[in-house]
Chain A
Amino acid sequence: MEKVSIREVFAQFFEGAVFAYGLTLLLIYALLAFFSLIAVKRYKRLDDLQSLNDLVASSLTPGITVLAPAYNEGLTIIMNVRSLLTLNYPNYEVIIINDGSEDTTLLQMEEEFDLLLIDYAYNERIITQPVKGVYKSKNPAYSKLTVIDKVNGKSKADAVNAGINAANYAHFVCTDVDCVLHKDTLLELIKPVLQEEKKRVIAVGATLRLGNSCDFDHGVMIRMRPPRQLLARFQEVEYIRAFVMGKMGWSVLNSVPNVSGGLGLFDKEVAVSAGGYDHQSFGEDMELMIRMCRFSLDNGIDYVIHYLPKTLCWTEGPATIKVFMRQRTRWARGLAQLMYTHFSMVLRPKYKTMGMVVMPYNFLFELCAPLIEFIGILIYLFMALTGVVNWPYAVILLIFVYTYAVMITTFAILTDQLAFRYYKTWKEVLLLCTTPLMEFFIYHPLTVIFSIKGYLQFLGGKKQSWGNMQRQGMGTKKI
């Protein structure tokens, strides 16, 4: 009998396991692409059919609270608040939470909106850092606006929790004060809640895009363009893949893993009962979503999470590698924290698709993927140095992964184009289509490295702080 060395067994096992792992991941992507196409088509048909105007004019339209935390946003705060106050919705309030800003954020708002410190009966259902004061405007034109001034809680989560405590409506929309929302955002987000037949809608999310090169007019997006900078364009492509393909695909299975912190509508009662945002989490949006699902399943609430493929929110993407690294290490830490906290949900039938599909997927293909990839590269290098790599095969496998990755991203762009035909010119679409060709070599390695850095920070227990980016300002602002 031929003897097989342990090294050979290990090598064979590693190759087989990694191949099976990679193939499974690619199969999942293919399934998500297929599901997303179904979901987007369904959405588009209804969107063409149903008018939002009835909601605008109806006295039956439910109220919504818009929550926007602000920390040192003095540069843009006035324009951003004005933008939130002009949303097209008949019944809403805007709560800005000034999380102990050290700049003139609060002062500017006081002056611009005629704010007055009032005696507000604040009910602290979720524990937060102390609220120093609540302001309302003397000007009836700004009657929708409430400003909460609180002690800095070192996290967006703590600020939003204070806003949830003060919210007066059954649903709240959480956004970032520097995000630009589509004027019909609230109408679009509430629609799935009103149209749900049997289940309780605990959250609705929508697609976010980068506004780096878009044209804005007083906080209103007037012309969408793909970002001119390569780094931001990589992210645009990544957002299309994650939102239009990933989350839309998951929504068909009612397994949306995350409603982005940039824009999401939530059922207040469930969010509060689940404990609100975790101020210690680095991925507070994803963590809340998982906790709301867990709470619902523990308490027999038959819930559903909807996602919309339409872009309703524009945010500024990191323009430099340094800022990008900060963002990604933070996200990676958030994911690691989340899996650590909620690992008990994995493979527990009680938690249905969340426990049987989403959490194992998150663990195997989100958390472990950068590690497996990194270890794989190290082993590959070792094997190359020891001369056991079959180079023709290695090149074929590399081409396979590359072409498949390009295909999946191109499919996501196609779905997006079929549904909405964003971007005005062919040149802009072409620019976007060529981006995935480079993503594999430039952008992807960076995300792997920053993820691993995030995991190491998680293991080292680095301190928490507000995740503010250094803003450069979005797009071309027409004044």
Chain B
Amino acid sequence: MFKLSLPDGPFAIEIASILIGVAVFSTLLAYISMLIYRLKGYVGQKRADNTIPLVDNLLLEKVLLHPQINTEIPKVEMVELAKSFDIKELNPGWAKHLLIARLVNYRKNVRGNIGNAIRSLFIQLELDSVCLKMLRSRKWYKKAKALYILVEMEIVIPDVTLLPLTNSHNHHLRSAARLAYIKLSKNDPFKFFDVVTEPLLQWDQVELFRVITSSENFSMPNFARWITYSSNKSVVSFCLKLVVHYMQLEAVPAVIRLLDNKDHFLRANAINALGKMDVDEVADQLLHMYHNQPIICQTEILKALGRFRNQQAKEFLKREFLHSNDFNLRKHAARSLINILSKEDVLIKELMNNATKESLMILKHCMDPLIKF
């Protein structure tokens, strides 16, 4: 009469019995894995504890305290010096990787002659070939790691090896390759800006910005080239940051042209850049366009007017402060107004005297040196 298709007792018990076996076996396997992993970790730590001081001592004794370290260690001497590192403790593969990590760490922290000596030592010890071998690995993270090391050591990688990696499917490898290309390519290091189709992530931008702004090896191009012609918004946005950093006044016309761009964020970035570069000849244009803009652009316009300290804008700022419906816009207008005028200015006093409770609070907020925003 009733036929249930649900598992009856024995079937459930059969499954349960099998799963008990699986669970017990898996738990034991997990314990063993933990044991092996911790043992490995212990051995690795022991090795590191023994090897790192050895490397540090050798570096200190042979390189950092070398009598000619402040000028330049001759190549012949560097070859001799490298032989001191040719000891059995540093021969195994794991020791070489520890040595590389240590040299990279030193190189990160020192520049000039000491940095150059560490780089020469890296080459003399043929550790670059270890990295180039890693670069041929099929695993993306090994390639990326090799790229980071080679960038830090400023070891040139042939374009033929590097360029394909800049288009890798793996984002992290692609990002490392772009960084390496900018830093190491002997040709036009900014060439990849022309071809990059994927967005530059904020993380990429942070890394690229560091590499570009800290490098002394190449002359800066006029970034207006990409601001004008690149169809990649993230490249344009990044170039705007570089234009501001280098105060590239020759790029200003290209930045101004961005004020007509359809993308709100690019427009906001352009206004921000113009404000920071103090290009106050665009003040009228900004005032003219203000009411047709989204909040993000309006905010940047108000901030830019404050940076310009343009007296012509004070009536406009006053109006915005008094009549805008948006609290933050009112705050930005007030802050810019206070940037342009002194606290003792008649207009400020007049505003203070006639202000509503909220307006007075905003004005006091903006005048207080303890408040940053």
Contacts and interface: CB of A to CB of B under 8 A. Distances in A.
Interface of A: 1-4, 9, 12-13, 15-17, 19-20, 23, 26, 45-46, 48-50, 53-55, 57-62, 93, 116, 118-123, 136-138, 143, 168, 191, 193-197, 390, 393, 396-397, 399-400, 403-404, 406-407, 410-411, 413-414, 417-418, 421, 426, 429, 433
A92 B12 CA distance: 57
B4 A9 contact: yes
Interface residues of B, number: 59
A426 B30 contact: no
Given A121-B361, A197-B199, A60 B205 contact: yes
Nearest to A62: B202
Contacts of B70: none
B292 to A, nearest CB: 22
A12 B7 CA distance: 9
Contacts of B27: 403, 406-407, 410
A119 B4 contact: no
Interface stretch (B31-39, B112-120, B130-138, B153-161): B31-39
Interface of B: 1-2, 4, 6-9, 12-13, 15-17, 19-20, 23-24, 26-27, 30-31, 33-34, 37-38, 41, 108, 141, 144-145, 148, 171-172, 176, 198-199, 201-203, 205-207, 209-210, 241, 245, 327-328, 331, 358, 361-362, 364-366, 368, 370-373
Contacts of B20: 396, 399-400, 403-404
Given A15-B9, A137-B370, A414-B34, A407 B26 contact: yes
B67 to A, nearest CB: 32
Nearest to A4: B2
Contacts of A54: 206-207, 210
A118 B361 CA distance: 10
Contacts of A48: 141, 145
B361 A396 contact: no
Chain B at the A interface: SS class: helix
A118 B373 CA distance: 13
A9 B361 CA distance: 73
A27 B125 CA distance: 53
A13 B361 contact: no
Given A3-B1, A123-B327, A417-B38, 18 more contacts: A60-B205, A60-B241, A116-B370, A120-B371, A121-B331, A122-B361, A137-B370, A143-B372, A168-B373, A195-B202, A195-B203, A399-B20, A404-B23, A407-B23, A411-B30, A418-B37, A421-B41, A429-B38
Contacts, number: 161
A209 to B, nearest CB: 18
Contacts of A404: 19-20, 23
A3 B245 CA distance: 88
Contacts of B34: 413-414, 417, 429, 433
A51 to B, nearest CB: 8
B26 A411 contact: yes
A16 B7 contact: yes
Given A57-B210, A61-B206, A400 B371 contact: no
Nearest to B366: A121
Given A118-B368, A195-B203, A396-B17, A406 B145 contact: no
A119 to B, nearest CB: 4
A414 B144 contact: no
B37 A393 contact: no
B23 A400 contact: yes
Contacts of B199: 197
| Leading 8 A-B pairs by shortest Cβ distance | A16-B6, A119-B364, A121-B365, A403-B23, A400-B16, A194-B203, A194-B202, A168-B373
Of listed B15, B20, B30, B372, residue having the most chain A CB within 10 A: B30
Contacts of B12: 15-16, 19, 397
Nearest to A140: B370
Contacts of B361: 119-122
A463 B210 CA distance: 54
Contacts of B15: 23
A120 B144 contact: no
Contact of B8 (A12, A396, A426): A12
B2 A9 contact: yes
A426 B16 contact: no
A54 B211 CA distance: 10
A397 B327 CA distance: 63
Contacts of A55: 206
A433 B27 CA distance: 10
Contacts of B364: 119, 121
Nearest to A416: B34
A421 B38 contact: yes
23 contacts: A2-B1, A4-B2, A12-B6, A15-B12, A58-B206, A60-B241, A120-B371, A122-B361, A168-B372, A195-B201, A196-B201, A197-B198, A197-B201, A393-B13, A397-B12, A400-B17, A403-B23, A404-B23, A407-B24, A411-B26, A414-B33, A414-B34, A417-B38
